Amino acid sequence: MNRTVDTQQPIATPGTGQVAIGMPLHRIDGPLKVTGEARYAAEHPVADLAWGVVVNSTIAKGRIAEIDTTEALSVPGVLDVLTHDHRPHMRSLGFMYKDMTAPKGSPFKPLHDDKVYCSGQPVALVLANSFEAARHAAALVRVSYEQEPHETHLLSNMDEAFEPGSLKAGYSPPPKPRGDADVAFALAPVKHQAEYYSGVEHHNPMEMFASTVIRAPDGHLTIYDKTQGSQNCRWVVSHAFGLPKDKVTVRNPYVGGAFGSGLRPQYQLLLAVMGSLHLNRSVRVMLTRQQMFTFGHRPETWQRVALGAEADGTLTAIAHEAIAETSQKEEYVEVVVNWSGQLYRCNNVRLGYKLVHLDQYTPIDMRAPGAAHGVHALEVAMDELSYQLKMDPLALRLKNYTDHDASKDLPYSTKALRACYEQGAERFGWARRPAEPRAMREGHELVGWGMATGIWDALQMFARARAVLSADGHLEVSSAATDIGTGTYTVMAQIAAAAMGLPLEKVTFRLGDSTLPVAPIEGGSSHVTTVGSAVEGVCEKLQKTLFKAARKMPGSPFSKDRFAQVFFKDGAVWRRADPAVGARLVDIMASLGQASIEEKYLMLPNMLKQKKYVRSTHSAVFCEVKVDEDFGTVRVTRVVSAVAAGRIINPQTARSQVIGGVVWGISQALHEETLADHALGRFMNHNYGEYHVPVNADIEDIDVVFVEEDDRIVSRLGAKGVGEIGLVGVAAAVSNAIYHATGRRVRSTPMTPDKVMAL
């Protein structure tokens, strides 16, 4: 049967019947994505479209002496070449715009002036009637530079490290020391101290960054952008170019992966708007895979961890310090060391975090920013300490388990980590693990088992939602949320359907449009707790409106009932005391004589309650590796990830999130690293051929266990978040398994064959 499909909103799978929280539902947007009907930022058809191709700098630091565009402008179809001295006016020249996630400092402004701050910086934009003409002309733009000495090597510049003096959304500076970690470490009968290093990683989502700016005759700009926050991008465009906000609409109905790379507007957005304003026509700018390496990355990070313990495994000292990179223009910060002060019970803790300015683009958030590095170092150090104690690694963690965060002197809202340890270990078969390394072998491969703990903040922000119930019983709920592939369409529709007692095919959730009710940027695993709570809240308001109308219906069975005495199910409202008595929602709507009714809701976190607790998600990761000792190749053959993330709204989409996190953790452990030529100050392996990410052959058995947990402090739904926690601890578990297999400790990521063989 042929169906007309609205490519902006997915169609719910029909026939699902009554929907409940906790029901594993298929993704609503799945059919559109696999059939190619879902359109991404660079796929929207536009009449009279001009194309922009970026020209990037070839030096790491200096100034532009001259830009010769003569050859480029001679290419047929080329319309113009924008440069720092030939472009539309931006208010940012006198007004410092900052997006909602910007760290302290001055955000990079493309084509602002003649200064070059990093290799790959955009220095020109070629505009043409076709992509092919623009790409050809871009290769003909001649740029001359006055080069200056640059510094891009973190380890060579750590004596320049400084303590950041700023706060960024989601960042807390390390807490003050408690006790005296240095003295306690010196006196500890058992101690471990080591340095850990994590190289640069770059985002490589399937969809490359692109912006399609559609200019209407009245000057209104409708922008399809690859972003994790449509309203953030609208704010930046409006402020940078002095445009009224009602003249700019940003849409991102579908996003082909992001996981932090889209939290900030990337430079192609501002360049595409420049091109559109300059030409007075629609313009599209899409970055190449190579250009995806010219903005932001997970920062290179050095760490030192020192652990002291009694002979029975009781931790007496924790010292954890980190030094990471930032750009010359901004102080990008992450929560790297703080986890070490809260995860285990210890009276003497000292934490430190510093930055080094380098001549590189400002780093950006990348799935589980900070924890991916900080928890990794801590959990590898804990594993190393366990061998010195001759103690099982899991037993060491249980020995120092705590339900109280001593750094903040607060209890956890919920912490089912102990159950994660127990259920994960049982599923994995941890009790059969031999204590000594190199004790298991299969053929020519050594076999090792390792484990690690994961932790991430359980965040909640504020959001608005709107709900419209039509006379035919169809419910539309909307918020300017984002779905980067995490299942937002599905989960929000599921929450609304469950609240209103409607089948899924009667519910549509709209997102990805800056004109919709305000929603935060999709990041930090906070969308379900935030937007989901707003959706449930607006549905509750709608329920009360319907119940009020139902009480006024002629012969109403609810005339003496209160709202708490009814419930919604199967498209009707029913009496709790007599579930056979009810009224259909369509009949209630008919009694009102209206085509629809609408409610709005503002969800604000209960800060008075939340500030009394530490709110976190937790996990226990168990891993099996097989190592070819002759070649140093490592295969991750089994992973069990046991996760405590509050109430799981949709186990199917949540499981997919954790599996994706585990895959990325394996990638962090064994594959991903951006290599730099520091003489040139340039990242070199900027392609899929040389930047290694896992393929299907690299991934074997992944088992996900959701531990029962319900946290009404974090959200009214009882949910937390599962996007980030799936990654945290995975690389550490792989590292620890490699040591158990080989007796060789690798303290830097990725753990490539040469490192495994060298030890």
Q: Please list the active-site residues.
A: 724
Sign of CA dihedral 32, 33, 39, 45: negative
Which amino acid would we find at residue 371? A
Give the integer Cα–Cα distance in Å for 639 and 477: 38
Helix, strand, coil abundance in the chain, percent, nearest 5: 25, 25, 45
Collapsing DSSP to helix, strand or coil, 246 comes out as helix
Determine the distance from the C-alpha atom of residue 658 to the mean position of all C-alpha atoms in its chain, rounded to a whole number: 13
Q: What is the DSSP string of 183-213?
A: HHHHH-SEEEEEEEEE--B----SSPPEEEE
Residue with tokens 């985002």: 203
How many CB atoms sit inside 10 A of residue 607's CB?
Answer: 9
Residue with tokens 């006196």: 187
Tokens for 173, please give them: 């500076």
Give the integer Cα–Cα distance in Å for 691 and 684: 9
Sign of CA dihedral 161, 164, 168, 172: positive
62 beta partners: 116, 147
Collapsing DSSP to helix, strand or coil, 342 comes out as coil
Determine the distance from the C-alpha atom of residue 744 to the mean position of all C-alpha atoms in its chain, rounded to a whole number: 33
Report DSSP state, residue 428. H
Which amino acid would we find at residue 389? L
Give the integer Cα–Cα distance in Å for 329 and 320: 27
Residue with tokens 């191709």: 53
Edge-first strand order for the sheet with 445-457 is 440-442, 445-457, 616-628, 633-644, 701-706
Residue with tokens 């969308």: 527
